[in-house]
Amino acid sequence: MKIFIDGEPFTPSSPEVSESKRQLLDEIDGEILKKGLTYTTITVDGVEMDSSAFLLLRKGREAHFKTCEVKSLVLESLQEAINYLPRLSGGIQNIASGLERKENENISEQLINFAEGLDWLVSVMQKSQLLLLVKDSELPGKEETVAKLNKSLKSVSECFENGRIMEISFHMRQILPELKAISDYIVQLLEIAQLKK
């Protein structure tokens, strides 16, 4: 398979790397990260896909990787996360208040949407931290906050599975302080990203 990065041909370091999609992705990652870049899209024979789909490919003639600066991607993602935080916080409060008023319609859909939103938010934080090369020690308490958040989410899930709907409200409100802490970490990461050259 021929590989192109931003239109330029890329030659893997060995035939073995060419044969292993995982090694090939790792090598491309390493090469573009040296330039402060990360890939945003992968297109194989005209079909756009994510890295998981690329890893599953059996064949293809040409793979095109489009890149952007790590810094701009991180800044954009962190700003999007900051803008999303009030909606997520409001969603938690709406779910909890609705349950307290015994408005249980669509509770499973609301909880799924909430969990997906929270998962995305934490993922943005963790990936941004990784791309910015920020150590956990630079974000004191982050790991404990994420652990508390996971514990609260597990409690919500257990209450839902066991039909203890009214208890969900209590556990949802317990998530708000962790969400505030996550918000603070995201703001810190944004400030770090803005200072990077």
| Strand segments (E) across the chain | 2-5, 8-10, 37-44, 47-49, 62-69
| The 3-state secondary structure of 123-147, one letter per residue | HHHHHHHHHCCCCHHHCCCHHHHHH
- pLDDT band at residue 4 under the 50/70/90 scheme: very high
69-80 confidence digits (pLDDT tens): 888 989 999 999
Q: Tens digits of per-residue pLDDT, 20-59?
A: 889 999 999 999 988 888 898 999 999 999 998 999 988 8
Range(s) for CATH 3.10.20 in the chain?
Answer: 2-70
Burial class (CB in 10 A: 0-12, 13-18, 19+), 156: buried
Q: Which positions ≥6 away from 145 have C-beta within 8 Å? A: 178, 181, 182, 185
pLDDT at residue 196 is higher than 80: no
Asked if residue 159 lies in contact with residue 109, where contact means CB atoms within 8 angstroms, the answer is: no
Express as a percent the part of the chain with pLDDT over 90.
Answer: 58
Dihedral of CA atoms 118, 181, 77, 93 in degrees, nearest 10, equals: 40
CATH number of this structure's domain 2-70: 3.10.20
Specify the domain boundaries for CATH 1.20.120 within the chain.
72-195
Phi then psi dihedrals of residue 163, to 5 deg: 75, 15
pLDDT of residue 100: 86
What does CATH list as the number for 72-195? 1.20.120
Amino acid type, 121? L
Distance CA(121)–CA(88), nearest Å, equals 9
In 3D, which of 85, 104, 45 has the Cα closest to residue 185? 85
121-160: per-residue pLDDT in tens?
999 999 999 888 899 899 999 999 999 999 999 999 999 8
Q: How many CB atoms lie within 10 A of CB 80?
A: 12
